[in-house]
Amino acid sequence: MTRTTRGLLVAGLTTAAVLAGVTPAFAAEAPIRISGSAGGTLGPEFGPMAGDPVRFEIEASATDPMKPTGHFKVTHHKPDGSLLARFSGEVTGAHAVGQVGVVNGKITWAEHPGAPQVEFVGKPISLTVQDEGARGDRIGWVWGFFGQPVSRLQGTAPVLRLRDGDFSVRGPVPGVDGADKASGGGGGGLADKAFGAGLAGQASGGGAADKTSGGLADKAAAGGGLAAAGGGDRGHVLAGTVHGTSKDPEFLHDPLMFSVRAAVAPGSTPDSATGRFHVTHHKPDGALVADFSGDITCLVVGGRVGMATGVVRASADPAHVGLRVSFSVYDGARGDRIGWLWGLPGSEPVHDCQGFSPFFTPSAGGFLARGL
């Protein structure tokens, strides 16, 4: 194993370790809660579903993200009040950092007169919630009942602004370079201890490029769904460069750099995204641990959250060429955050326009994430 590969694998706890339940270090310190009920109306970017009212109810709590308790319910009506679909189920995963949380679940009950040919019960779903208070909460989704892949603790950008009701997201807020601070009822430590602030703490498997911008109707934009999540009439932009240092004990104080430039033209789908990314990881004395770059292949921005995925095209270690990667960004008024997934074999796959809640706070630089 080369030094570069070892850096990619060990610069923080791997996603595989977290998903296997290796979370006792933060279990008592970082309670997570994502709860509330809110609804909205699908806009013109949702194509034939524009004007449809939808509503989401979530109650999820966890100290171990893979052992949560809770339930969810989703309702989608037509403007005349007729029911398109209504379903509910149990929460199977919950991850939150600051204002952004991802809830995974499995449908246990459904009625869907508007989609009678679709099997809902037993299928996985993912909901991404952005708690922005007076600025307006948002939500995004991925529906397994339309064949969209759902990876544990991952979701897409919160593309829909909710107009009534309220969601509360409570998770740890990592300070600059991972110095954790509490958020609401949440303690510190989840980002560093569970997901690693080092360059490559996130291991996830590769796989085919899945068209998964998510949705409860535009199948071309969403890969199948009851409503598109991204693309449409507006373009999306994610751009910036940030620097920080690893908090993983083996790579403590190692300098990290992330640069992402991505765009989707107005009227185009998320998987038409263009752009580039570049990631570096050095030792404090300047020795190289990892240096790779590549092309962006999918981008969705919802509110202050952007989800971009891509493929490594060049690397200091040729073995990394072809890996699929994910970058999740929170463009915050009081500080930006970034999360990442590397397409290493043997763990959860990286799907187009999906990722973790952004978990790492850099010490310099920033991101712009906008749905134009």
DSSP 91-155: EEEEEEETTEEEEEEEEEEEE-TT-TTS--TT-EEEEEEE--GGG--EEEEEEGGGT----TT-B
The string of pLDDT tens digits covering residues 226-266 is 444 444 457 899 999 999 998 778 888 999 999 999 999 99
Residue 26 has pLDDT above 60, yes or no: no
Residue 287 has pLDDT above 60, yes or no: yes
DSSP structural state of residue 192: I
CB 315 within 8 A of CB 333: no
Query: Could you give the C-alpha distances from 340 to 45, 199, 203, 258, 309, in angstroms and in order?
Result: 27, 9, 9, 10, 9
CB 162 within 8 A of CB 40: yes
User: SS3 of 47, please?
Assistant: helix
Spell out the SS3 assignment of 225-238.
Answer: CCCCCCCCCCCEEE
Q: Rounded distance, CA 201 to CA 14, Å?
A: 5
CB 25 within 8 A of CB 45: no
Contacts of 74 (CB under 8 A, 6+ apart): 54, 55, 56, 57, 85, 86, 87, 88, 125, 141, 216
User: SS3 of 196, please?
Assistant: coil
The string of pLDDT tens digits covering residues 111-156 is 999 999 999 999 999 999 999 886 789 999 999 999 999 999 999 9
Residue 210 has pLDDT above 90, yes or no: no
Residue 20 has pLDDT above 80, yes or no: no
The string of pLDDT tens digits covering residues 332-345 is 888 899 999 998 88
